[in-house]
Amino acid sequence: MIDSKNINDLAGADVYDEADAKIGTVGQVYVDADQNPVWVTVRTGLFGSSESFAPLADARFDGGAVRVAHEKAFVKDAPRIDADGQLSVEEEEALYTYYGDTSDAATSTTTEPPLFDQDADRSDGAVATEGHDTSGPTTDDAMTRSEERLHVGTERVEAGRARLRKHVVTEQVSTTVPVSHEEVTLSREPITDANAGDALSGPALSEEEHEVVLTEEHVVTAKETVPVERVSLGTETVTEQRTVTDDVSHEEIELDDSTTRTTSDETDVDRDTRP
């Protein structure tokens, strides 16, 4: 159960649904007349650009996070009501009807302005916590100082696409191979006792011719297609550090004791002028 003891921890807390899916973060906390938290606005969408009201009746505050008893989509589809600092009776009844709680206890209690407003400018009189103030009722003898906390997260979006495409490229390849051919050579030898028989075996005078066949090598080429490698697409995650800069506000509390100093000074003057 979430009650007034958890109020200081609710602002900016993460909000999860009943299936442990994150809905957003707490933007404002609305309390009843007894200062018990009744509603929170949940910042959803990109960079928390939208706010939806969620009830705290059946919610839990666990591990620094608010866990509501409804599905994420159901909370995000709640009636659109401006988080303008005050819930009217009609607006609150519409919310209770949407969330299925129409009991007299739920609809008869007027919700007070939000106790926390992450975007409100306190200097223009917007409603904040009521403390020991000359302009409001005295509810406590201490003042609560709040500050904004910057919550930075990441989301995965498509940054581009890569395709693997194959096409044919033709290039010239040069290589050197040895080739041989035959050439005619002429040999002459004198008549000797060893070859006289072959030389004198024919007629003394005659006409004749001899022929020899010459050969040579020609270069022959052939091509074949063979697989050389396999190529596939994959992804790898590269993590880099990126600095995020934003403005955050905080409250400062100063001691104003001008009345005390004035009284003390006047007392000193009276003491100095005493005869």
Residue ranges and CATH numbers for the domains of the chain are: 4-153+244-272 (3.90.50.10)
- Rg of the chain taking only CA atoms, in angstroms: 49
In tens digits, what is the pLDDT along the chain, a chain of 275 residues?
A: 788 788 888 888 999 998 999 999 988 888 888 888 888 889 876 554 568 899 998 899 988 899 999 999 999 888 877 766 677 888 888 888 998 863 444 444 444 545 544 444 434 433 344 444 444 444 456 788 899 888 888 888 888 999 999 999 999 999 999 999 999 999 898 989 888 888 888 888 888 888 999 999 999 999 999 999 999 999 999 999 999 898 889 988 888 776 544 433 444 444 444 44
Instruction: Tell which residue, 13, 12, 83, 72, has the closest CA to residue 45.
Output: 72
- With contact defined as beta carbons under 8 Å apart, do 117 and 126 qualify? yes
Q: Of the candidates 115, 109, 147, which has an alpha carbon nearest to the alpha carbon of residue 131?
A: 115
Query: Amino acid identity, residue 78?
Result: A
* DSSP label of 124: G
Give the closest residue to 76 by CA, choosing from 51, 103, 97. 51
Q: What is the pLDDT of residue 101?
A: 64
Do strands 65-67 and 37-44 pair parallel, antiparallel, or not at all (unpaired)? Answer: unpaired
Q: Note the pTM of the prediction, 2 decimals.
A: 0.40
Nearest to 159 by CA among 231, 238, 232: 238
Q: How far apart are CA 52 and CA 211, in angstroms?
A: 110
Indicate the pairing of strand 60-62 with strand 65-67: antiparallel
Secondary element (H or E) of residue 42:
strand 37-44
